[in-house]
Amino acid sequence: MFFGLCDEDAQTAFAEVIMREGWSGRVYNVFFGQEQFRRMAAVLAFLFLLLFFSGKITGSGAAAEGAAAEAEAIEGTDAEAAAAEGLSAEEASGRDADKDEGVCIYVMTDPHYLSSELTDGGASFLKTVQNGDSKLPQYSDLYMTAFTDAVLDAEPDLVILSGDLTYNGERPSHEGIRAYCRQIEEAGIPVLVIPGNHDISNQNAVRFTGSSFERVENTDGDQFLEIWQEYGYNEASSLDSASGSYIFEFLPVLWFLCLDVNSYSNNSVPGSSISWIQQQMARAERSGARVILVSHQNLLRHNSVFFYGYQIYNADLLIELFSDYKILCCLSGHTHLESVRREGDILEIVTSALAVAPNQYGILTLTDGRMRYHTERLDLPEEVREEAAAFAEARSREIARANMDEASLTDEEISLMTDTFLGINSAYAMGEALDLTGYRKGIRLWQEQPVSNVSLYLLSLGDDLKQPRNMVDIKIE
């Protein structure tokens, strides 16, 4: 969603990023004249872009990989599978090869769970939801019940929750969603968690009562570890005290590096933690183990323009490190959208928010020398699914109209521009490919408008819509 503006410090930082990355000439030469670019730069300086399914600034894209190369990397071929080496299904699972079993991991992120004891469904709560980013926290228990049922029915080998577990870090919300994780663990399925930016020291932790609200206990980094100690931390072979990051040795040949950039820092990895990560990667290499990185914020840029606040601030240090110690992939969330991106040897899979329509989670499998990923939607009552979709669409239409000069447009043009934004944004957020042929007129109208958050966003997508970004099928090298 497009909500709010960032503060002055963020405006300055974003403006510096624009100049450092050299976007200025590249953007206005392609889409705008020089006069329009000056206005665009002014907008970018204070832009806090929030996507259709997002409450934050969107992740960025690694533009170095061409579309054809990226498609080949993501899709893979049967010939590659036949020649695949590295982590086989048998090695990964330790099971009988005759049973044709591999490792199955359920990946869920951004459930933004709100304990039912923190709202009476009154005017204050409803206003907050209405002005929010398409989340419907009144259905938190319904969503988590549906996810838990899906896990218990499928019996995967592992479940990962990669942050923003709670609405705004309320302790009762942490304890409430933990109860669902306990059901999963009691069924013999391990659960790993890491915190997101909403989960730690959040000053918006409140109880909604009637037309008002009151502050409730939030959760700091130490309290998070205490609440969630049974979900990855107690079983960790190494815990970084500076950051809360940990290593989970799932199998002798498959480890998880669960990266915490929120408990004791603001979306960055402390310098001492970089050294700890390097030590753990070297240890994994000596042990013959492959490593999957799990983080809340993104390691890579998933959009060429809008990434500030989504990508880990000092991600460049991690990318350099992981270029020396090859990770199997990175799993993250935070953006509330689906995306798959490769930069060099690093593949990152971003899973969309469980809390936002279409309420998806990811399934990652390692089998037959291949790594595969796809999404599934929660099995929800039809009326809830329709309400969530309608609410998200309504918010999207509001945002589109707020970013156009309606006085200069006919009703038909307003409708066409709104439908263009809705169609493109929906496909992008779900990681779906989209043929833009039918949207050319609407895109042109957006280009002719004064520069706005929406026009910049639509024009930033580039080749991202030419192929699906919500699935992976590659050989494991």
How would DSSP label each residue in 40-68?
HHHHHHT-----TT-SSPPP---TTS-HH
pLDDT in tens, 76-117: 333 333 333 344 434 443 433 333 469 999 999 999 999 999
Instruction: Select the more confidently predicted residue: 65 or 281.
Output: 281
DSSP state of 125: H
Mean pLDDT, rounded, for 3-11: 31
Q: Kindly tell me if the per-residue pLDDT of 403 is higher than 90.
A: yes
Bridge partners of residue 290, in order along the sequence: 254
How would DSSP label each residue in 414-476?
HHHHHHHHHHHHHHHHTT----GGGGHHHHHHHHHSPP-HHHHHHHT-GGGGGS-SS-EEEE-
Mean pLDDT, rounded, for 9-22: 36
pLDDT at 380: 97
CA dihedral of 452, 458, 462, 467, whole degrees rounded to 10: 160
Task: Choose from 10-19, 32-41, 222-231 the range with maximum mean pLDDT.
Answer: 222-231
**Cβ atoms of 296 and 261 closer than 8 Å:** yes
pLDDT at 459: 83
For domain 67-381, the question of CATH label 3.60.21.10 is answered with yes
**Cβ atoms of 403 and 445 closer than 8 Å:** no
pLDDT at 453: 82
pLDDT at 92: 41
The sheet carrying 103-108 orders its strands as 191-193, 158-161, 103-108, 360-367, 370-377, 472-475
pLDDT at 61: 33
Q: Kindly tell me if the per-residue pLDDT of 52 is higher than 90.
A: no
Q: Which residues contact 152 (CB under 8 A, 6 or more apart)?
A: 183, 184, 187, 189
Domain residue limits, the chain: 1-48, 67-381
Within 208-340, where are the H helices? Answer: 221-227, 271-287, 315-324
Within 213-270, where are the H helices? Answer: 221-227
Taking CA atoms, 393 is separated from 29, 386, 433, 438, in Å, by 32, 10, 19, 19
Band of residue 445 on the pLDDT scale cut at 50, 70, 90: very high
State what percent of residues in the chain have pLDDT above 70: 79
> Structure tokens of 87?
């982590």
Average pLDDT, the chain: 82
Q: Kindly tell me if the per-residue pLDDT of 18 is higher than 90.
A: no
Band of residue 8 on the pLDDT scale cut at 50, 70, 90: very low
pLDDT at 455: 87
Which of 116-120, 419-423, 453-457 has the least mean pLDDT?
453-457
Bridge partners of residue 377, in order along the sequence: 360
